[in-house]
């Protein structure tokens, strides 16, 4: 019963953050600010939806003792961790590539990378 | 010999994690254990030169490895939650002040720079855009630059985080 | 009562369709790369939820492999954008 409420709460929080991430992707003015919305918020939201799967597996394992629910939880955990790492590194790579391709941050107060020459 | 052993242990742990819950012997079935040991030996023989390329074994210390989950579940989770609420507020109101600033880190090892760059990307309204390979400074895109930062040539890394001092944790783990 | 997992997957699919709008509009190539990255993340989340909805653990294994492979493709797109390939 408590597990059901926790699962629903995690799903709602995750979908809320995912929705806001997509709204940010459609709404923000340039590449870098869009990347803020998608990288942080969709990663956080997807980790919450994976957390609901982990709670589901753990609750069923505690009530039934079947080993396959442990597999479900552990695999969902591995998926969430790999998602967090790959998203962070991938967004850094896209930002670096975009700046090398000459895309400037269009509304920008200051751009220190402009002055840097390797 | 030591790189071979470390790669073997890491591969075996990953295999055991992926096959947990398959049988009766403490969650694992005997055939899975035998297959895991054989495959880990093979993987260690092939890939022993890739894992410990720097030749320094300080990350094999179990205390440092224990600090990583503590770091991820404690201060890091707090910062991530706060950053997401902040970006959610900015998505809804559209109140942004973006720009790229230079952040001085003072970290020396590759793992430390990696952890700091990823922490910055996932936490407070910032994305790492580029890294100066010589001085190990980071170029960080900030979605909301505080007043007065646009005139400064470099910002200390701990000024980016408001709740916990994440760079000090990373220094304790990786240096 | 309809299963909450199916509703969640439906909402994620709608979000993927909204991200495809940015993929279609995006003024620069980097915008499109960001949109593709977002679609990959949402697909992984949807696959994990589908694994529970259909009671098939193999879906979650597919999600792990998809996350790692899409990471490699993202890195290659980023290298190509930066002109280092």
Which is higher by pLDDT, A111 or C23? Answer: C23
- Residue of chain A whose alpha carbon sits nearest to that of B29: A67
Cross-chain residue pair B130–A99, CB shorter than 8 Å: yes
Q: What is the mean pLDDT of residues A31-43?
A: 83
| pLDDT range class, residue B12, cuts 50, 70, 90 | confident
pLDDT at C1 over 60: no
Q: Which residues does B75 contact at the CB level (< 8 Å), separation at least 6?
A: B163, B164, B165, B166, B169
Query: CB atoms < 10 A from the CB of B5, how many?
Result: 12
| pLDDT range class, residue A11, cuts 50, 70, 90 | confident
Give yes or no for A59 touching B (CB within 8 A).
Answer: no
Q: Which residue range forms the structural domain that includes residue C46? A: 4-81
Q: Look at residues B90, C37, B78 and name the one whose alpha carbon lies nearest to residue A92.
A: C37
Cα–Cα dist A53/A7, whole Å: 8
Q: A103 near C28, Cβ under 8 Å? A: yes
pLDDT at B47: 80
Q: Is A75 helix (H, G, I), strand (E, B) or coil?
A: helix
Residue pLDDT, tens place only, B65-109: 788 888 878 888 888 888 888 888 888 887 777 777 777 777 777
In this complex, which of A20, A35, A92 lies closest to B91 when CB atoms are compared?
A: A20
pLDDT at A118 over 60: no
Sign of CA dihedral B72, B61, A79, B122: positive
Q: Residue B26: what are its φ and ψ, rounded to 5°?
A: 50, 50
What distance in Å separates residue A4's CA from the closest CA in chain B? Answer: 23
Cα–Cα dist B69/B77, whole Å: 11
Q: What is the mean pLDDT of residues A100-118?
A: 69
pLDDT at B111 over 60: yes
The residue ranges of every structural domain in chain A are 2-102
- Residue of chain A whose alpha carbon sits nearest to that of C5: A11
In this complex, which of B94, B99, B129 lies closest to A27 when CB atoms are compared?
A: B94
Task: Look up the ipTM and state it.
Answer: 0.84
Query: Is this structure's pTM higher than 0.90?
Result: no
Q: What is the mean pLDDT of residues B50-77?
A: 76
Chain A contacts of C10, Cβ < 8 Å?
A: none
Residue pLDDT, tens place only, B132-175: 777 777 788 877 777 766 666 667 766 667 777 777 777 777 77
| Number of domains making up chain C | 1
pLDDT at A65: 73
Query: CB atoms < 10 A from the CB of C33, how many?
Result: 26
Q: What is the mean pLDDT of residues C23-28?
A: 83
Give yes or no for B68 touching A (CB within 8 A).
Answer: no
Give yes or no for A73 touching C (CB within 8 A).
Answer: no
Chains in contact with C via at least 3 Cβ–Cβ pairs below 8 Å = A
Q: C19 near C35, Cβ under 8 Å? A: yes
């Amino acid at each position: 019963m408590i597990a059901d409420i926790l699962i629903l709460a995690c799903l709602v929080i995750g979908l809320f953050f995912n929705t806001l991430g997509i709204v940010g992707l459609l709404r923000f003015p340039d590449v870098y600010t869009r990347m803020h919305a998608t990288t942080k918020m969709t990663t956080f939201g997807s980790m919450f939806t994976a957390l609901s799967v982990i709670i589901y597996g753990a609750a069923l394992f505690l009530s039934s003792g079947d080993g396959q629910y442990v597999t479900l939880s552990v695999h969902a955990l591995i998926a969430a961790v790999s998602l967090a790492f790959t998203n962070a590194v991938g967004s850094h790579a896209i930002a670096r590539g975009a700046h090398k391709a000459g895309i400037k941050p269009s509304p920008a107060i200051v751009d220190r990378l402009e002055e840097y020459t390797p | 010999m030591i790189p071979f052993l470390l790669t073997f242990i890491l591969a075996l742990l990953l295999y055991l994690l992926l096959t947990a819950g398959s049988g009766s012997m403490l969650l694992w079935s005997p055939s899975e254990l035998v297959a895991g040991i054989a495959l880990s030996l093979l993987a260690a023989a092939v890939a022993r030169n890739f894992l410990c390329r720097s030749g320094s074994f300080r990350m094999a210390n179990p205390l440092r490895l224990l600090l990583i989950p503590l770091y991820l579940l404690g201060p890091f989770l707090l910062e991530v939650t706060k950053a997401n609420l902040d970006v959610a507020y900015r998505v809804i109101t559209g109140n942004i002040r973006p720009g790229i600033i230079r952040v001085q880190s003072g970290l020396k090892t590759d793992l430390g720079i990696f952890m700091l760059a990823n922490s910055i990307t996932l936490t407070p309204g910032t994305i790492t855009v580029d890294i100066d390979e010589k001085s190990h400074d980071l170029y960080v895109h900030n979605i909301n630059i505080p007043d007065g930062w646009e005139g400064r040539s470099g910002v200390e890394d701990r000024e980016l985080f408001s709740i916990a001092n994440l760079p000090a944790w990373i220094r304790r783990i990786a240096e | 009562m309809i299963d909450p997992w199916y509703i969640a997957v439906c909402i994620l699919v709608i979000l993927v369709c909204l991200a495809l709008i940015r993929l279609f509009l995006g003024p620069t190539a980097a915008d499109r790369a960001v949109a593709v990255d977002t679609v990959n993340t949402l697909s992984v989340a949807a696959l994990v939820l589908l694994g529970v909805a259909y009671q098939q653990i193999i879906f979650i294994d597919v999600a792990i492999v998809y996350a790692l492979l899409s990471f490699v493709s993202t890195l290659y797109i980023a290298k190509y954008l930066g002109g280092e390939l």
